[in-house]
Amino acid sequence: MVPFMQKKLILKIFPLFLGGVFLSSAYSAQDFSSQNIEVSKSESEVLKSKEEQKIIRSLFLPELSFNGGLGSEKLNDKTDKEEGPYLFLEGKVNLFRGGRDKNQNEKNNLEVKKRILETEITDRKIKIESFKLIAETNRLKAENELLQKEIKDNQTQRNMALKKVNAGLTTNVDILDFDIKEQNLINRVTVNNLNIETNVKSLLSLYSGKVPYNEIESYFSIREEKTLEGLNSEDSVNISTAKLDYEISNLDKKIVRSEYSPIVDLEAKWGQITPQHEVFKNEKEHQIFLNINIPLYTGGTTNFKTQQAIIDSSQKERELRQLEVDAKSKFEVEQKKIETLKILLKSYQQIFSKAENYKMLTISEYKRGIKNSPDVISASDKLLEATIKTLETKSELSVAIFSFSETFKTLKERL
């Protein structure tokens, strides 16, 4: 009876096991990630970068302003000086700045993409952490159910021993063996309950306590088995982020070097430009300027900034290459881990089957007086540990598959 129940338990538990674990269609339209403070912060950075994008684009637009006040003006060829109020409309257009505005705009576009990738990285990290907590919680619940059945089974075996004691076929030592085992089983259930409560609170905290546990669990429930084929290390979001960092560093070099280029502005003024006793007493004045500013010497500041940009770009390139090596290594290690866990799972299932037969034979021989109570306890423990090892391996395998998929799946931009 008990071995059958253990088999049934292994088959029914863990809706998050094997073959790839992905979001169910019932919850695919919902995303709890934005409730997480880290993801929310990353999303805010994306919005800030998009506002910065608008600021950069505004540099290409004309500037228009009213200027007014009181002033005094005296020209060299005049004996009188002009003084009084002035009021004029001034416009300015940026015609050429060595391409720095264009490069700055391109840099900002890349920074927006980088912020999106960083949000995706944070989102995936939270999903993996959530899945681990759910998988561990479900494993502990399944283990507790198994331990409760083991306690009942132990009580049945204790009653058999008690009959032998009453018949004078054995001593009270056998009863003590079963009592000690029962207390140990109860202690394990108590510890598991504490860990379950801790995991549930940790999971709820990930989403600021705003999403019920059952909804989060359903969000990560299995939909179908899915192959991991087609994934590769180059799809790592961390690599994509590092590539953007390298591109941004190259644009920084262009932006700094553009400071050597001339700046050309078109400026126009219309109204009462010269201070006069009364506003607009005389005819309107106008001025148009084509300003060309050619930098000759800046104390070496531009050169120093150029060297900084070159150093930074070289470092970003080294970091990118190292990250590509690390991602490839991690990809291979995680693949090997998944395959190893699958092999171990088959092995533990075989051990379970043998331990089940061993327990049944031991109980049968115990009833006939061939085996003693320590033999029954040992056989029960073997089956219990084989079942728990199977649960643990299934849990670890499901987490490994989910983590592998989240880390190396093809990027889909969030915004």
Lowest mean pLDDT among 20-29, 39-48, 250-259, 371-380: 20-29
Length of the chain: 415
d(CA 325, CA 335): 16
d(CA 341, CA 398): 10
Q: Dump pLDDT digits (tens) for 72-107.
A: 777 666 666 777 788 888 888 887 777 787 888 888
Q: Dump pLDDT digits (tens) for 65-74.
A: 888 888 777 7
Residue 81: predicted pLDDT? 73
159-168 CB burial, b ≥16 within 10 A, e <16: eebeebeeee
Closest by CA to 399, choosing from 13, 203, 127, 7, is 127
22: amino acid identity, one letter: F
Residue 189: predicted pLDDT? 96
d(CA 225, CA 200): 26
Q: Which two tokens stand for residue 86?
A: 């002035």
Query: Collapsing DSSP states into helix, strand and coil, what is residue 66?
Result: strand
> 180 vs 373, which has greater pLDDT?
180
Domain ranges for the chain? 2-59+100-261+326-408
Q: Dump pLDDT digits (tens) for 284-332.
A: 888 888 888 888 877 778 888 888 888 988 998 999 999 999 999 999 9
Residue 385 confidence class, pLDDT cut points 50, 70, 90: very high
Q: Dump pLDDT digits (tens) for 133-171.
A: 999 999 999 999 999 999 998 888 888 878 877 777 666
> 37, 237 in Cβ contact below 8 A?
no
User: Per-residue pLDDT averaged across 328-338, rounded?
Assistant: 93
d(CA 8, CA 377): 22
Give me the residue label for tokens 């007086």.
369
Q: Which two tokens stand for residue 190?
A: 């108590």
d(CA 401, CA 240): 22
Residue 77: predicted pLDDT? 62
Give me the residue label for tokens 């050619």.
294
d(CA 117, CA 237): 7
Q: Which two tokens stand for residue 126?
A: 């939270």
318: amino acid identity, one letter: R
d(CA 60, CA 56): 8
d(CA 23, CA 212): 17
> 178 vs 227, which has greater pLDDT?
178
Residue 392: predicted pLDDT? 94
Mean residue pLDDT across the chain:
81
> 200 vs 23, which has greater pLDDT?
200
d(CA 386, CA 380): 10
Q: To the nearest whole percent, how much of the chain has pLDDT over 70?
A: 87
Report how far apart, in Å, the C-alpha atoms of 200 and of each of 28, 130, 206, 213, 285 are: 22, 10, 10, 7, 76
Sign of the dihedral defined by the CA atoms of residues 312, 315, 316, 317, in that order: positive
Residue 354 confidence class, pLDDT cut points 50, 70, 90: very high
Q: To the nearest whole percent, how much of the chain has pLDDT over 90?
A: 29
Alpha helices in 207-279 (DSSP H): 213-219, 237-257
Q: Which two tokens stand for residue 279?
A: 């506003």
d(CA 324, CA 301): 35
Residues 6+ apart with CB under 8 A from 147: 185, 188, 189, 192, 384
d(CA 199, CA 376): 35
> 234, 407 in Cβ contact below 8 A?
no
> 172, 165 in Cβ contact below 8 A?
yes
> 5 vs 35, which has greater pLDDT?
35
pTM: 0.77
Closest by CA to 363, choosing from 352, 351, 379, is 379
Q: What fold characterizes domain 2-59+100-261+326-408? A: Outer membrane efflux proteins (OEP) (1.20.1600)
* Res. 29: pLDDT tops 50: no
Lowest mean pLDDT among 10-24, 96-110, 284-298, 358-372: 10-24
Tell me the Ramachandran region of residue 229: left when phi exceeds 0, alpha when psi lies from -120 to 50, beta otherwise.
beta
